[in-house]
Structure 1
Amino acid sequence: MTDSDRAAVVPAVGTPGSLSTIRSLGRAGVYTISVSEMSRPPSFSSRYCDATRAVPDPTADLAGYRDALLALAARGDVETIVPVREADVHVLASHREQFGAHIEPLWPDRETLDSVHDRLALTAAAERAGVATPETVPLDAIDDWDRERIVKARYALLTDRMGDVAPNTCRQPPTTQFLAPGETPDIEARVEQMGHVPVAQTYLDGPEFCLRALCVDGEAIVTSQKRLHRGYKYARGPSVYHEAVDDRALTAAGEALLAELDYTGLASVGFIRDEGRYRLLEINPRVPASIPVDIHAGVDYPRACWRLATGRAVDPAEYRPGTHSHLLRGELVHLHSVIREEYPLAKRPGIGATVGAIARSVLEHPNFDTLSRDDPRPFVRDALNVSRSMVPISR
């Protein structure tokens, strides 16, 4: 059986990571099945998308979404399902044995995922592994508000097991709150908004990095690294301009934590570099949204996952640190944050300086997360989707 006779299932969720996975596998000759609860996700417009399937929305019907993926996994031609968001890996990990009866489970088990999605449990794992972390404690355990802190969800995905969420549903938690020294949050209101007791974390004003790794039983098979240069917000947020880098200390910290977790699957381990040390932020246990920069830099994780899923060795990567990539619509969101938004702990850059920095980086490093010469339609579809979401519909 050739790769063109074997299929990979990739959820289409509107992120560059989802689209890049479809493109990478399609270019390798793999038959790609893109599934989504959305009517027109960008991946459906890709020349490398061979088939599309409508599936239930996991935020409203986790069981229905699970059953749809299981039906695809049971097909004789399907070799793997690639998780690209938290809901995907939650379903796959929670029912690992059922999916494992049909395909190779290249994702963590439920116990490991619980440790990854729970920031307090993840902090404890980092401490066991000797990996530095910012102070991270439950919000209601703070007595001293004289330091710069941030308040964020304890859990990366809210379900009825982790948060006040209706059974058979899930949702992403609310955004992070920045607290200046002396600012005391309304704890009861924040708990009600979050649906659980969130965590308070010491704010670190350093550059953000990630170690990417494809692991089996805690051993890294392939790795690469990313530095965030600009996020959706000038106070960071998801990455929109990124660079592939290479630092042994970053590799050591990330691999130590993944080994402690006995992790299997693709992970992006986020850190802040603070006073020369890498301090843990989080782990994203799925295809990261900014994975196009890794692919541009020569590390093709979707193809590596495919080879592992089909019982083959992973080819050595020709990694090219210094490669950059942009999410163009994200650059516009970043500029909007500079113009309109205020964050008490982050210094706002100048508008002119930001415009100049974006223009220079695009000209010097013309690699993009969604824009592709040989596959332009997803970029157009993404732009149309964003435009329609911003324009009220008259009824």
Structure 2
Amino acid sequence: MTLNRQLEVPGSSGGPVAGDDWLTTVATSAASACQAPVELLGGYLPMLADAAIDGRRPDSWELDAVRELGRRAAAQGVGARGAVDLYLSASWRLWRQLPVVARSSDPEKVRSAAEAVLRVLDDAIGVLVDGHQSERRQMIRHEEALRAEFVDDLLRGDADVARMVERAEPFGLDLGKSHHVALAAPRDADANVERAATAVERVVVGRFGDRDVLVATKDGRVVVVVPAATAAPTARTEDLGSVLHAELGRIDDGRRWRVAPGRAFPGAYGVARSYEEAREALVIADRLDLGAEVVHARDLLVHRVLGRDQSAIVDLVHEVLGPLQHSRSGAEVLLETLLAYFDAGDVATEAARRLHVSVRTVTYRLARVSQLTGYSVSRPDQRFSLHAAVLGARLLEWPARPLPVDP
């Protein structure tokens, strides 16, 4: 937009000059002072000058153009405050040079011009900020989509390693290094996972630094990726689990969380492998109804081995524990006794205390297991088979669920 008239500029020789010349000077001065691109002013200054001289309100298309400039400012990384400062700076600079202000002795003219300028300024700032916010929301949605896609591919172990390494750079991850992945899963239905992730990110960055650290959410859990320590990696993993659990307990009003740190592995596939360890640790902990709030994947390796070959574990449970179903009290009571006995370190008195029964009841049930199955807890070779079968039964949720017919 250009002014279709000649304007007399204060300080000039008094002759008419092209309308755009003095506006260009004002725009350049404001942009320099605010350190913002002069192009973001667009046709705003001619529109403002028109309002001061003729009292003309801007057309809708002119305000739409300012809204688009607000979007452009956001896309170029100029903050909303910076864009507003640019428009305000340009406005007062233009006001000082307006002939109607600098040379008029009529207060009413000055008042009318000021009112017209302020109304246009109000309209322009409103649409400018609206356009800026609209673009920022769109940019944030786009960034969130890219982040979510990257996290999914990273944790899945995308086959295109070179591309994955390139995509990791904006997130500060060096996939040539080793990383731990820890998962935090809420044990209460009303836990706010997004809020927890935000709080955890502050603590993790403060504790481990902002490089090679990523905090996200996936499948209703908080995912934390941190670099492995160069020394004492086991201690670092334990530290990560304790840090996360302590913070979650602090910020979530007593709601319960279970944290599972995976071991550290190198490379892009290492992140996916550590994530899978942590995920399986959570699943196993839930299946076994473990009381621990922090479960380490390395402590559950034997359970992972059992779970990997489902066909073999189904056969083991069926052959070793299947006969327990012939008990009048059912298999569940005897299975619970076996689990308590093994968890108590093969001490019948401790198992009785945990089960809230007498020691005699425990020894009777163990004898009944031996009678039905032919496996005795007092024989080392048979005890191992019984213990492995009991763990397998818990992983398969047997006898609550029937064993798979064709695993």
Task: Give the TM-score band, short-chain normalised.
Answer: under 0.3
Could you say which structure has the higher strand fraction? 1
TM-score, structure 1 normalization = 0.23
Largest Rg, 1 or 2: 2
TM-score (norm 2): 0.22
